[in-house]
Structure 1
């Protein structure tokens, strides 16, 4: 590398760790702005950063002040959000520092689902009917106006946290009672007290992985998603490129690009979620960053040989961007979930999966003695299997087949205790 740049990331975590790794492997000086000095170990990026800056990542002035008081004041070449929750704050600080990034208003709209829905409506982007509510009475009136079934969700959360499929007023009242007690989400960000009642969109779900320049796609790919049975919306499998509805792919991509324009994202990476409803593609949400859930870190690499994190670092540094497909294959990920609540003992059929032909890798995210539950949000998934193949059908079939072989074994003591309790109540 001809020139070493200084690149700062705000709270690398989950998908954001891939940002730090890409910049580090490019030979740049990687600075992590963190809420805790323990975070490199917590999120798994020890050894791929050069320095830490401590700040309250929930506060714009704290982030800005921490940079100003650091040895890197006036020295940063890029400031990149590495967690969704701080993306709008990072955008604001980047603007103050004169650095490239997503416009603050666009980042704010992509973080807040009500602002995004308003932008889609204003620009005529196919979306869902919605109402912003604060109380049960407002929610019931909105649901009656929109028509059941509806979806109730927070306006500024992620990972399907407290997202509810609602078929009746009774279900709505129970869900409202739960959601109003949901005060803090990941990394201690406050949950807004505004909620959305949305029209339930029928049809299969997809995401569009995009990289745009001046509003035009430099790269696009459609990922097929499989979600858990209602009433939850947990993503349990992804296949890239999509093996289904190929004839609708252009329309899905077009709708995603129009949503980005409505939000105000005209440059850089994005991950746009779309439902292919009976009336055509309709937007679920826009994220102004590469897709998480191993889509960008693994599936894009396995399918096309594309490192979108590397391309994004290059974009922020105003370097040439390489998004050429180096191969034309396919990849899939299937998640392992519990079939009931209980205490985890082990997975049967998981050992040795990595040695299966076509398996890229697997991961187990729980340990013996952990409490597990039916997947109500992405946090409840137990592990995953990533596969690759010459076709999307091949990769998807293998991932689902292997995940289907896995069985969750619960602690016997728990089963005995439950049986004893049932007998005592009989």
Structure 2
């Protein structure tokens, strides 16, 4: 029987909604710390919390004061970040309250890509060459030193926002002109005015879904990713477990663990993105939380029967952790994207998906009349479908084939545009 605890989440949104749901379904008292009382409706977690605390989630002191002046000041059992952007602030407040969690320095490095790259270099973790820059002149010098093609990205954003593949100095100038105007990201967090020029890593992309206990994997699996055509890096297919490069899976996992230890994460869940280059696995980035994009909320559940959010809540509460694989199947998610800019009318072919035994769910993110564009970041994806299969290849091939069979219909345009 579960002992009821009081668990607070800082701004549940996106993957963080699954955190709140896991704790609520375990019977715990769930407190959501939010920047606005509108957020439960906005992010879809109405009915799965017991109380709200309003604070400026972008400010450590505001978070701390809001908690200690709340009815839960002396009886919080866990404080859990439920959005990437507040993860380091949550870690700092948890430390001040004497609660378990990811160490502040580790959360800070995970949140800031330049600090993470510095840690990888210090601990000999296979990564990418990089330079931190502020201006076009610095970026041009860095790109010249590293060698084109390079990648330009913000140091503290997410979801592939303003990440650019750069082939030459002209493209670099255009991208810099855009990125310096990128001031505010999700939940009104400020974008740092420092950017990374990185070596472009050639090779297939994966993520490693991990749960560590004192530096050793309690659970691990590798997810294969397909990304949109260059110059963008939008993830459009995830398949778990990976159907490809299975013979190198252990090397990919070991590299991910090494990266986590380098930034100071020894316990709990993580989602580590990796490129498998001709010289072996190279780290793209580390996230000290379960994977988003329905990887943890759906693919892990369908493939293995694992609820990593429930396990994570138990980790923060210092309860026993259950991550036993209940079955061995596979699951895939494929996203619908537009091939051009326009005004959305509908997606044709969705009705038939519900009749397919191996389609778990489909979802559309946009409404008739919305302006849509080719996918430059995850925000531009139009919808998705999730499939299962007895093997990873089966789940992947079905997801890809079904998405390719859908047609995006543009308003005032009779041509039906098939998704590729």
Residue 352 of structure 1: how far off its partner (Å): 2.6
Report if the CA contact (8 A) 1:343-1:414 is conserved. Answer: no
Instruction: Give SS of 1:292's match.
Output: coil
1:378 maps to 378
Return 1-10 or 236-245, whichever deviates more: 1-10
Q: Does 1:153 align with 2:153?
A: yes
Q: Give how far 1:222 is off.
A: 0.1
Contact 2:332 2:395 in 1 (8 A): yes
Taking the aligned partners of 2:381 and 2:354, their CA distance within structure 1 comes to 19
User: Which SS does the other structure have where 2:257 is aligned?
Assistant: helix
1:391 has 2:391 as partner: yes
Paired with 2:414 and 2:110, the residues of 1 have a C-alpha distance of 43
Secondary structure at the aligned position of 1:351 is classed as helix
Matches within 5 A, 1:71-86: 71-86=71-86
Aligned residue runs from structure 1 range 138-217, under 5 A: 138-217=138-217
Tell me the CA shift for residue 3 of structure 1: 1.7
Cα distance per residue 1:84-114 (max 9 Å; x no partner): 0000000000000000000000000000000
> Following superposition, which runs of at least 4 residues in structure 1 exceed 6 angstroms of deviation?
none
Q: Give the 3-state SS of the residue equivalent to 2:125 in structure 1.
A: coil
Aligned to 1:244: 244
User: SS state of the match for residue 230, structure 1?
Assistant: coil
Match of 1:101 in 2: 101
Structure 1, residues 115-171: CA drift from partner, whole Å, max 9, x if none? 000000000000000000000000000000000000000000000000000000000
Please give the alpha-carbon distance, in whole angstroms, between the structure 1 residues aligned to 2:70 and 2:130.
44
Q: Map of 1:7-406 to 2, 5 A cutoff?
A: 7-406=7-406
Contact residue 342 and residue 414 of structure 1 kept, 8 A: no
**Any conservation in 1 of the 2:239–2:331 contact (CA below 8 Å)?**
yes
Q: Deviations over 1:365-392 (max 9, x none)?
A: 1000000000000000000000001100
Distance between the aligned counterparts of 1:275 and 1:127, measured in 2?
9
C-alpha separation between the residues in 1 aligned to 2:354 and 2:156? 37
Deviation at 1:357, TM superposition (A): 1.9
Whole-angstrom CA distance in 2 between matches of 1:402 and 1:187: 34
Per-residue deviation, 1:2: 4.2
Provide the aligned length of Structure 1 versus Structure 2. 415
Provide the C-alpha distance between the structure 1 equivalents of 2:329 and 2:37, rounded to a whole number of angstroms. Answer: 40
- Shift in Å, 1:355: 1.7
- Unaligned runs of 5+ residues in structure 2 are 416-420
Aligned to 1:420: none
**1:165/1:2 Cα in 2 relative to 1: closer, same or farther (>3 Å)?**
closer
User: 1:259-317 deviations in whole A, cap 9, x for unaligned?
Assistant: 00001000000000000001100000000000000000000000000000000000000
Secondary structure, counterpart of 1:355 in structure 2: coil
SS in 2 for 1:102: coil
Does the CA contact (< 8 Å) of 2:2 and 2:27 recur in 1? Answer: no
Query: How far apart in 2 are the matches of 1:394 and 1:103?
Result: 40
Helix, strand or coil: the match of 1:27? coil
Q: 1:288 to 1:352 in 2, by over 3 A?
A: same
CA offset at residue 413 of structure 1? 6.6
CA distance in 2, matches of 1:94, 1:144: 43
2:354 partner SS? helix
| Correspondence for 1:421 | none
Whole-angstrom CA distance in 1 between matches of 2:218 and 2:393: 26
SS at match of 1:74: coil
Does the 8 A contact of 1:9 with 1:82 survive in 2?
yes
